[in-house]
Amino acid sequence: MSAATTQFPTATILAYPRIGRQRQLKRALEAYWAGRSSETELLEAASKLRQENLARLVELGLDASDASLADAPSFYDQVLDATVLLGAIPPRFAGRQGLDLYFALARGDEKVGPEEMTKWFDTNYHYLVPEIGPDTPLRFADDAVTRKFVQARQWGYVTRPVLVGPLTYLALAKADPATPDFDPLTRLDEAVAAYEQALASLHEAGAPWVQLDEPALTSDNLSHPRAELAKLAVGVYERLAKATNRPQILVTTPYGDASQAVGALAKTGVEAIHVDTLRGSLPKDADLSGVTLVVGAVDGRYIWRADLAALRQTLTAAQALGATKVAVATSNSLQHVPHDTALETWDDPTLNENLHAWLAFADQKVQEVVTLARGLDEGWEAIDGEVAEATRVLEQRAAAPGVVRPEVRSRTAALTDADRAREPYLEREAAQAQRLHLPPLPTTTIGSFPQTTEIRKARAANARGELSDADYQERMREEIAAVIKLQEELGLDVLVHGEAERNDMVQYFAELLDGFAATRNGWVQSYGSRCTRPSILWGDVSRPAAMTVGWSSYAQSLTDKPVKGMLTGPVTIIAWSFPRNDLPLGEIADQIGLALRDEVSDLEAAGIGAIQVDEPALRELLPLDAERHADYLDWSVGSFRLATSCVRPDTQIHTHLCYSEFGQIIDAIKGLDADVTSIEAARSKMEVVPELAEAGFDHGIGPGVWDIHAPRVPSQEELAQLIGLAADAVPVSRLWVNPDCGLKTRGYAETKASLENLVAATRQVRAERELNN
């Protein structure tokens, strides 16, 4: 390492949102994919956005020249960027280069399917899962990170490049499908060698610091437990630290608790270590002499203004641990929060005033970090004013109307186990067979049909006041009628109304429930160019009026086939909103569960025979710390059952889960006690079905046969084969046929073609197996 070392800055963040205040990256990507812009235009748009973001961070108080500016630009995903850096390209992508290769890995192309996508730790961000076998190349194959450093320096910024660390990279990888039992972590030495070269390249370009993100060190939910990863980390960082040709290294451990690993990491020779003190804690009994402790104090997950008095205490405690220096940062990358509260206004003037005081989005969080750093550098008196103001706002929030509502609190307090139990499954199964008259291998979809431009335009016009509510409702009814007609023509068995009226499966409910506030510009990247706008759950939740009954009963009035009512479950509403931080999640879930229970009862009373309560986020919120699993599964399952246990045995409860790795939550899936569970399965070629069966799951199951995340139409043969695989693994009487997920992001042409094939494939399997109707 060079003699000229720059001290670690006192104020920093782990990364800034990269989608852009106006979602510029989304627009640039989608224009490029649609062939409306060239590669050069895409590169220019991305570099302009990056330059704006860096300028903004400096405006907010971070230093331009001391490596404060964590820089993690990406066209799609940071894990995919690491795959490209390492040249770890699965063989099926051979022959592609540059952006064609990059986007083929992310989205597939005409010839190949993409890499699998899965959720990043306990967030709603999706990363592309590396596929590593014994022969997958692992070398320093792409110096984009160095080129970006050089480019930023030309603009006048000394950035701190951010990379997914080698341990986390391999811990998140899956085995190359050709060698399914291979453990990617056995390639760790080669990955570290590649990182050594990447670090050398950055050093030669003059980078004083590099940030290696190792969130795997906070998780028990990966293929290897946290304690084992911590041991491997020591070897990795001893080796990286030993290299002489490298920048100084910051290792980060966001999203959870790595405090057990910190002591050993501090001895490896790396210069700085970050801990997340919101989901984890400060290291105990660790000798930190010689390292900078970067305290992840400002919450990078949620959007509440910080309790500066409490964070000042955390930082004071950190100062007593004997580190060479204490710096302050966010708990994790700010990619999980929107850009700026200044972009929001709420119609209700009191709410508007309150939320502006109560909230901190990315830009406000950077300012909180800068304030706390001033306290560290200049003494705490220097920020007495800011601390007092933060405390005053917290007190005002706790007492504000709507935050605590006695009628909601007394309802949850009165709940008993009986409120969460239905009749035995076999009794329900018989009653539902009598009522619904479904063929073997019933076909259905997950709920949404394509959200066409016309639908979005109508909604936007309605929001602007250019289309009256009555006209908007009429437009949505026409859409529902068309979707019902299409499903009848296609020959599907259990229909859906298509969710045209929903802007989003969580926001729609958040807008109709008390206790939530939607945002206008609060976009957060979910994957690639896809962004979501989480609602803010700020108060006690209740349902002022029925939310979906009108739409569902209208749809049911158009057909003799059953139409599923469609609701979003409590855990998913919490996971895809920004929940309040002043009430346990379990209690919030029960408040939502009760509101949904009222809706379920109303749907049943309106004659709806099947009701789906989606819980695609059930696994997402699973705590990273294994010791907290049981408590989580208890309240999450409990809230689903609270929402769904009020119905008669002949009303069929469906649920939908959006991932295929459910190992740790299999008991929870069973515990939901839904009559039918649809689950993602296409990309993993149905491997979930035998796994579920072996785990003793014996209710109705609908493994997805069509991977709706990829823009391609699966053939009848391919679908029949997948249905056949599933039918070999579970009793056909309990097997359903459906896509992996909702169709809102697909177009109509591919939707029709794919569903036609899905129905034809189902009929083929029914005939081949002589399943009588």
| Binding-site entries for L-homocysteine | 446-448, 614
Burial 56-76 (b: 16+ CB within 10 A, else e): bbbebebbbebbbbbbbbbbb
Rounded Cα gap, residues 590 and 636, in angstroms: 9
Q: At its nearest, how many Å lie between Zn ion and the CB of residue 678?
A: 8
Nearer to Zn ion, 296 or 616 (CB): 616
What, of Zn ion, ligand GLN, none, does residue 566 touch, CB below 5 to 8 Å by kind? ligand GLN
573-612 mask for ligand GLN (x: CB under 6 A)?
----------------------------------------
Among 741, 743, 759, 765, binds Zn ion (CB under 5 A): 741
499-528 mask for ligand GLN (x: CB under 6 A)?
x-----x-----------------------
Residue indicated by tokens 């990863």: 229
With CB under 6 A as the contact rule, which of the stretches 173-181, 357-365, 692-700, 736-744 interacts with ligand GLN?
Answer: 736-744
**How many C-beta atoms lie closer than 10 Å to residue 140's C-beta?**
19
Q: Are 714 and 707 in contact (CB under 8 A)?
A: yes
The pairing of strands 117-119 and 126-128 is: antiparallel
Q: At its nearest, how many Å lie between ligand GLN and the CB of residue 680?
A: 9
Which residues on neighbouring strands pair with residue 444, listed in sequence order?
Answer: 494
203 tagged catalytic: no
122-161 mask for ligand GLN (x: CB under 6 A)?
----------------------------------------
742 part of the interface to ligand GLN, by CB under 6 A: yes
402-405: which pairs have CB atoms within 8 A and are 24 or more residues apart? 402/514, 402/515, 402/538, 402/539, 402/540, 403/538, 403/539, 403/540, 403/580, 403/582, 404/539, 404/540, 405/539, 405/540, 405/542
Rounded Cα gap, residues 740 and 681, in angstroms: 6
Q: At its nearest, how many Å lie between ligand GLN and the CB of residue 447?
A: 3
| Binding-site entries for Zn(2+) | 656, 658, 680, 741
What, of Zn ion, ligand GLN, none, does residue 448 touch, CB below 5 to 8 Å by kind? ligand GLN
Q: At its nearest, how many Å lie between Zn ion and the CB of residue 680?
A: 6
CA angle 136, 205, 267 (to 5 degrees): 70
Rounded Cα gap, residues 434 and 451, in angstroms: 34
Q: At its nearest, how many Å lie between ligand GLN and the CB of residue 674?
A: 14
With CB under 5 A as the contact rule, which of the stretches 355-363, 380-388, 531-539, 614-622 interacts with Zn ion?
Answer: 614-622
Contacts of 560 (CB under 8 A, 6+ apart): none
Q: At its nearest, how many Å lie between ligand GLN and the CB of residue 652?
A: 16
Among 210, 455, 741, 758, binds ligand GLN (CB under 6 A): 741
Nearer to ligand GLN, 201 or 451 (CB): 451
Burial of 348 per CB tally in 10 Å (0-12, 13-18, 19+): exposed
Nearer to Zn ion, 165 or 704 (CB): 704
Among 130, 515, 562, 616, binds ligand GLN (CB under 6 A): 616
What, of Zn ion, ligand GLN, none, does residue 567 touch, CB below 5 to 8 Å by kind? none
With CB under 6 A as the contact rule, which of the stretches 35-43, 256-264, 458-466, 738-746 interacts with ligand GLN?
Answer: 738-746
The enclosing H or E element of 653 equals: strand 652-657
With CB under 5 A, what is the number of residues at the site for Zn ion? 3
Q: Are 575 and 617 in contact (CB under 8 A)?
A: yes
What, of Zn ion, ligand GLN, none, does residue 116 touch, CB below 5 to 8 Å by kind? none
Rounded Cα gap, residues 187 and 209, in angstroms: 26
Sheet containing 676-679: which strands, arranged edge to edge? 564-568, 610-614, 652-657, 676-679, 700-703
Rounded Cα gap, residues 88 and 96, in angstroms: 13
Nearer to Zn ion, 616 or 623 (CB): 616
The pairing of strands 117-119 and 174-175 is: unpaired
Q: Are 230 and 251 in contact (CB under 8 A)?
A: no
Contacts of 271 (CB under 8 A, 6+ apart): 5, 8, 209, 248, 249, 250, 291, 292
What, of Zn ion, ligand GLN, none, does residue 744 touch, CB below 5 to 8 Å by kind? ligand GLN
Rounded Cα gap, residues 56 and 363, in angstroms: 8
| Binding-site entries | 26, 124, 446-448, 499, 530-531, 576, 614, 656, 658, 680, 741
Token pair in block for residue 363: 């830009």
33-72 mask for Zn ion (x: CB under 5 A)?
----------------------------------------
Q: At its nearest, how many Å lie between Zn ion and the CB of residue 508?
A: 15
With CB under 6 A, what is the number of residues at the site for ligand GLN? 13
**Count of alpha carbons within 13 Å of 245, Cβ hemisphere only?**
10
Residues 441-470 that bind ligand GLN (CB under 6 A): 446-448
86 part of the interface to ligand GLN, by CB under 6 A: no
Among 158, 566, 643, 686, binds ligand GLN (CB under 6 A): 566
Q: At its nearest, how many Å lie between ligand GLN and the CB of residue 566?
A: 6
Helix 549-557 × helix 585-605 angle, to 10°: 30
Q: At its nearest, how many Å lie between Zn ion and the CB of residue 497?
A: 17
Please provide residue 208's backbone torsions phi and psi, each rounded to the nearest 5 degrees: -75, -30
616 part of the interface to Zn ion, by CB under 5 A: yes
Based on its alpha-carbon atoms, the radius of gyration of the chain, rounded to whole angstroms, reads: 26
| Binding-site entries for 5-methyltetrahydropteroyltri-L-glutamate | 26, 124, 530-531, 576
289-328 mask for ligand GLN (x: CB under 6 A)?
----------------------------------------
Nearer to ligand GLN, 497 or 629 (CB): 497
Nearer to Zn ion, 117 or 495 (CB): 117
How would DSSP label each residue in 476-539? HHHHHHHHHHHHHHHT-SBB--B-TT-SSTTHHHHHHSEEEE--SS--EEEETTEEE-PPEEEE
What, of Zn ion, ligand GLN, none, does residue 271 touch, CB below 5 to 8 Å by kind? none
Nearer to ligand GLN, 229 or 446 (CB): 446
The enclosing H or E element of 676 equals: strand 676-679
Nearer to ligand GLN, 125 or 346 (CB): 125
Burial 486-507 (b: 16+ CB within 10 A, else e): bbeebbbbbbbbbbbbbbbbbb
Contacts of 83 (CB under 8 A, 6+ apart): 89, 105, 115, 128, 130
The pairing of strands 530-532 and 676-679 is: unpaired
652-671 mask for ligand GLN (x: CB under 6 A)?
----x-x-------------
With CB under 5 A as the contact rule, which of the stretches 319-327, 508-516, 520-528, 609-617 interacts with Zn ion?
Answer: 609-617
Rounded Cα gap, residues 447 and 551, in angstroms: 13
Residues in contact with Zn ion by CB under 5 A are 616, 658, 741
Residues in contact with ligand GLN by CB under 6 A are 446-448, 499, 505, 566, 614, 616, 656, 658, 741-742, 744
The residues annotated with a catalytic role in the active site are 709
